[in-house]
A and B are shown apart, each in its own frame.
Chain A
């Protein structure tokens, strides 16, 4: 047994194992990854988009076709949903259901490496989902190729911030108690509706706008719109969007590590 070899790269080994487990569901992962964007393209793009573009005389929203306007939000949502599955369920499984983290932690892998491994896997899954979404959008000619990288960036930044915060929350749960349903209904769904996804946030009554301001989806969407097609935003706001998402991740992880350490060392 080579001690140094054993204690290095533990996070990657945790991720390797998670990806391996995930590969057994690959068909489902791909089906969801492709099914979602196609459904949205058909309903939002062809349905609402046609309506909006027709009513604006082809001008779309803020000077771009409707589909291009919503694309940053759709992609960030895809990324957020991709990471969500990978931080919540495996973490509940790890601590509560099958307690697999305790088995992993009995090896040379540390609690911090387990947390990092979960994050790597989640971001990997988020990246995969986002890339498929991007592929569909590009394939249907919904966005120009030049938007691809900027939108990948803004989406993954949202994925990073969101997954770290969700991991911090999930790591604190001692039992299930319908938490996923609550998060889905009262956090994710409203976030999708109140983040300036389908129309600019400024069109909402002012008392509802704060819902968007705290939403990572709004920040990612605005950042994406700025980066992808130069939607005019003041520089300080661009900085805020970026910093908000980045800090969500950094602060989230600051809560994740000690909680993982505490739970595994009881």
Chain B
């Protein structure tokens, strides 16, 4: 269906630690220029997959090709064209902000002269210009995150790997980062992003895989996943902790599908307001109620029977 260039190809990709399969045979393709997401709860195997893509962690089994090369034997050649933002920042805490960027660029064999301008540009990008002479250790968590992201861009990578890029950022910084990532994408950079934030996946990713326990549960664009696995709208009602179960029995048959969570009941339907009116008419009085559009959260709940963020 697609004649775009495949930059990452995984088939039966597997990683086991002792006899525990952290990634248990996953297949996916990432195309040049797209934003590809790995969505899943804690321990799903997102970081493990990322480490294999970043051509450092050796796979236990399966095939993996990055930019047409074999990571087991051509790691350095591949990594020259990757930008890696690990889940843990791994900054040199003793070095200043600008030094972190500069020394990292030197590892790629970049000249000092070229790096001088590049570092200024990246500081601007990460909004850290004023902090350039601070020790990395003295930055706030969010600033360290931004520095790690800037560092991942120092070699002008073809593929940027971001492992939970916005964890620890405040809402404003998150939105700014999303905007920066959009711009990178416009410049043709391929993005691979792991996250457990639904909104992030919906905002940023053209296509994504939903992972759980090392396996892929579903794959597609956010919209197509929602269409396939959920209804258009969701009614959320709460009756109080002990009453949800009994209320759920009375709600049986209303809506296309019903999910009972410890704190609330979700009813899936095409027309939310109508369904809510029906609930109220039937004499049930929810303490709170809410009609919203379906999200990836609902897709995940449908696929795994669990919520994504606990």
Complex Cα gap A109–B75 (Å): 9
Q: Which residues of B contact A107 (CB under 8 A)?
A: 79-80, 104, 107-108, 155
B94 at the interface (CB under 8 A from A): yes
A102 at the interface (CB under 8 A from B): yes
The answer to whether B90 touches A99, judged by C-beta atoms less than 8 angstroms apart, is yes
Q: Which residues of B contact A13 (CB under 8 A)?
A: 106-107, 109
A24 to chain B, nearest CB (A): 7
A264 at the interface (CB under 8 A from B): yes
- Which residue in B95, B109, B156, B158 is a CB contact (below 8 Å) of A5? B109
The answer to whether B109 touches A24, judged by C-beta atoms less than 8 angstroms apart, is no
A206 at the interface (CB under 8 A from B): no
- Which residue in A2, A17, A100, A265 is a CB contact (below 8 Å) of B109? A2
Q: Which residues of B contact A105 (CB under 8 A)?
A: 56
Complex Cα gap A218–B174 (Å): 61
Given contact pairs A1-B80, A21-B95, A24-B94, A6 touches B109 in the complex (Cβ within 8 A): yes
Given contact pairs A1-B81, A102-B56, A265-B58, A6 touches B90 in the complex (Cβ within 8 A): no
- Chain A 12-44 near chain B by CB (<8 Å), digits 1 or 0: 011011001100100000000000000000000
The answer to whether A103 touches B90, judged by C-beta atoms less than 8 angstroms apart, is yes
Complex Cα gap A35–B76 (Å): 43
The answer to whether A264 touches B76, judged by C-beta atoms less than 8 angstroms apart, is no
Complex Cα gap A215–B106 (Å): 39
- Chain B 69-87 near chain A by CB (<8 Å), digits 1 or 0: 0000001110111101010
Given contact pairs A6-B109, A98-B92, A108 touches B103 in the complex (Cβ within 8 A): no
Q: Which residues of A contact B302 (CB under 8 A)?
A: none
Complex Cα gap A14–B77 (Å): 17
- Which residue in A10, A21, A99, A108 is a CB contact (below 8 Å) of B88? A99
Q: How large is the interface on A (under 10, 10 to 19, 20 to 34, 35 or more residues)?
A: 20 to 34
The answer to whether B84 touches A106, judged by C-beta atoms less than 8 angstroms apart, is yes
- Chain A 97-121 near chain B by CB (<8 Å), digits 1 or 0: 0111011111111100000000000
Complex Cα gap A14–B104 (Å): 10
Q: Which residues of A contact B81 (CB under 8 A)?
A: 1, 3
- Which residue in A6, A102, A103, A265 is a CB contact (below 8 Å) of B76? A6
Instruction: Specify the main secondary structure of chain A where it touches its partner.
Output: helix
- Which residue in A16, A100, A108 is a CB contact (below 8 Å) of B80? A108
- Which residue in B57, B84, B92 is a CB contact (below 8 Å) of A266? B57
B93 at the interface (CB under 8 A from A): yes
- Which residue in A8, A9, A20, A106 is a CB contact (below 8 Å) of B79? A106
B54 at the interface (CB under 8 A from A): yes
Q: Which residues of B contact A106 (CB under 8 A)?
A: 54, 56, 79, 82, 84, 86
Among A8, A105, A108, residue most surrounded by chain B Cβ atoms (within 10 Å): A108
Q: How large is the interface on B (under 10, 10 to 19, 20 to 34, 35 or more residues)?
A: 20 to 34
- Chain A, Cβ-Cβ closest to B107: A107
Among A3, A99, A100, A103, residue most surrounded by chain B Cβ atoms (within 10 Å): A103
The answer to whether B76 touches A100, judged by C-beta atoms less than 8 angstroms apart, is no
Q: Which residues of A contact B79 (CB under 8 A)?
A: 106-108
A53 to chain B, nearest CB (A): 47
A7 at the interface (CB under 8 A from B): yes
- Chain B 255-292 near chain A by CB (<8 Å), digits 1 or 0: 00000000000000000000000000000000000000
Among B93, B95, B108, B109, residue most surrounded by chain A Cβ atoms (within 10 Å): B109
Q: Which residues of A contact B75 (CB under 8 A)?
A: 110
- Residues in B124-158 with C-beta less than 8 Å from chain A: 155-158
Given contact pairs A2-B109, A17-B106, A106-B86, A265 touches B92 in the complex (Cβ within 8 A): no
Complex Cα gap A14–B106 (Å): 9
A262 to chain B, nearest CB (A): 9
A193 to chain B, nearest CB (A): 35
Q: Which residues of A contact B158 (CB under 8 A)?
A: 1
- Chain B, Cβ-Cβ closest to A109: B107
A124 to chain B, nearest CB (A): 17
Complex Cα gap A117–B236 (Å): 59
Complex Cα gap A98–B157 (Å): 25
- List residues of chain A with CB under 8 Å of any chain B CB: 1-3, 5-10, 13-14, 16-17, 20-21, 24, 98-100, 102-110, 264-266
Complex A-B, nearest 3 residue pairs according to Cβ-Cβ distance, in ascending order = A6-B80, A107-B107, A103-B90
| Given A13-B106, A110-B75, 18 additional A-B pairs, CB 8 A | A1-B80, A1-B108, A1-B156, A6-B108, A7-B76, A10-B107, A13-B107, A17-B103, A24-B94, A102-B56, A102-B86, A103-B92, A105-B56, A106-B54, A106-B56, A107-B155, A108-B108, A265-B57
